[in-house]
Amino acid sequence: MHADAFDRFHEADSRLHRLDPRVKVVVTTLFILSNALLPDGAWAAFGLSWIVLLWANHLSSLGVEFTFKRSFIALPFALAAISAIFSPLGNPLADWSIGPLTLIPTDYGLIKFGSIMLRSWISVQAAILLVATTRFPDMIHAFEHLHVPAILTTIVSFLYRYLFVLTDEVMRLLRARQSRSGSVAGLKSGRSVVWRARVTGNMAGQLFLRSYERSDRIYTAMQARGYTGQLRTLNPHVMQSRDWVFAALSIVIILLLQLTGRF
């Protein structure tokens, strides 16, 4: 039941699912890079990027609206960019006085803000599609192929493997705390913030120790299976012609998007 919470992977038999994970990682990165390279105000190019994204959604057979539904994750951060609207450059559009503050939105500012939001919104959807169509262990393999140091990918593998176990423990610790967080009529419950923070810190400490000792047991188990420091994994990914074709096609599309953005 809990495992679902960490499985961003959505099973399906689609062209995208069957592609080599290296290709998907590289193409997604290039696509996000392409967005970053598009100049502010390149609305046509942004629009086309979005259409390309929708088409990719379709290819994944997860539904055209798949990433759209999940795309508002970066929304809180939009607040950080709102001040861009009031840039000193560009032509003023209005003059708002809110108390001691004078806010002057400019055309340059609005264009900048809109571009930032679009880039972010489109890029995050590309990332969502990537993880939805690629099993995480395959992604780790992809990074190994792409020469990310083995120690890092191994750490990430362990992270992934034990993430569920540990977050489950956290949930149960939180539940235990909740169960004993009672109140009686007439008394102020919960004590002080400092006390609550200390209890939380204790929980973190508990969790840490259990994790540390668990790693000892894991190491013992690994030794029992002959581990001497080198993790060997099977990397069964072989680039096929469809992978090369997809990669080439993607690069062409990205170049076209860039061209559109410049003219």
Partner 1 sequence: MPVTHKTTPITTPIFEGCDGDVLTVEDLHFHYPDGHVALRDVSLKLCEGEKVALVGPNGAGKSTLMLHLNGILSGEGEMSIAGLRIEPDNLPAIRAMVGLVFQSPDDQLFSPTVFEDVAFGPLHMGLPEDEVHARVDEALEMVRMCDYRDRLSHHLSMGEKKRIAIATVLSMRPQILVLDEPSAGLDPRARRSLINLLRELPITMLVSSHDLHMVHELFPRMVIMDEGKIVADGPTAALMEDEVLLEAHGLEKP
Partner 2 sequence: MSYSPLPLHIPDGFLNLVISLIFWGITIITVGIAISKTNKSLGEKQVPLMGIMAAFIFAAQMLNFPVAGGTSGHFLGGALAAIVLGPWAGILVMTAVIAVQGLLFQDGGLLVMGANIFNMGLLTAMIGFGLYRSVSGRNKRTRLVVAGVAAWLAVLASALVASLQLWLSGTTRLEIVVPAMLGVHVLIGLGEAAITVAAISFIEQTRPDLLNEKAISAKGGRGWVYAGVVISLLAVLLSPLASANPDGLERVARDMGFLHLGQSASYKILPNYTIPFLGGTALSTIVAGAVGALVVLGLMIVIGGMLRRKKVHQHE
Which residues ranging from 127 to 186 are in contact with partner 2 (CB under 8 A)?
A: 127-128, 131, 136, 139, 149, 151-152, 154-163, 165-167, 169-171, 173-174
Cross-strand pairs, 103 = 96
Q: Which is nearer to partner 2, 209 or 245 (CB)?
A: 209
Instruction: Provide the minimum distance between the beta carbon of 241 and partner 2 in the complex, in angstroms, as a whole number.
Output: 27
| CA angle in degrees (0–180, nearest 5) for 168-172-178 | 145
As given in the structure block, the two tokens for residue 255 are: 């170049």
- Regarding 77 and contact with partner 2 (CB under 8 A), the answer is yes
Helix, strand, coil percentages (3-state) for the chain, rounded to 5, are 70, 5, 25
Q: Which stretch binds partner 2 (CB under 8 A): 11-19, 51-59, 78-86, 246-254?
A: 78-86
Smallest distance, partner 2 to C-beta of residue 262, A = 7
Report yes or no: 260 and 42 within 8 Å, Cβ to Cβ. Answer: yes
Residues engaged in binding partner 1 (CB under 8 A)? 1, 4, 169, 172-173, 175-185, 187-191, 195, 199, 202-203, 205-206, 209-210
Selected from 44, 51, 64, 73, the binder of partner 2 by CB under 8 A is 73
The answer to whether the beta carbons of residues 102 and 198 sit under 8 Å apart is no
136 is in the binding site of which of partner 1, partner 2, none (Cβ under 5 to 8 A by kind)?
Answer: partner 2
Exactly one of 89, 94, 224, 238 binds partner 2 (CB under 8 A); that residue is 89
Please tell me the distance from the alpha carbon of residue 127 to that of residue 94, in angstroms, as a whole number. 37
Burial level of 229, CB count in 10 A (0-12/13-18/19+)?
exposed
Q: Which is closer to partner 2, CB of 2 or CB of 242?
A: 2
The binder of partner 2 chosen from 12, 37, 48, 54 (CB under 8 A):
37
Q: Output the CA torsion sign for 229, 234, 240, 245.
A: negative
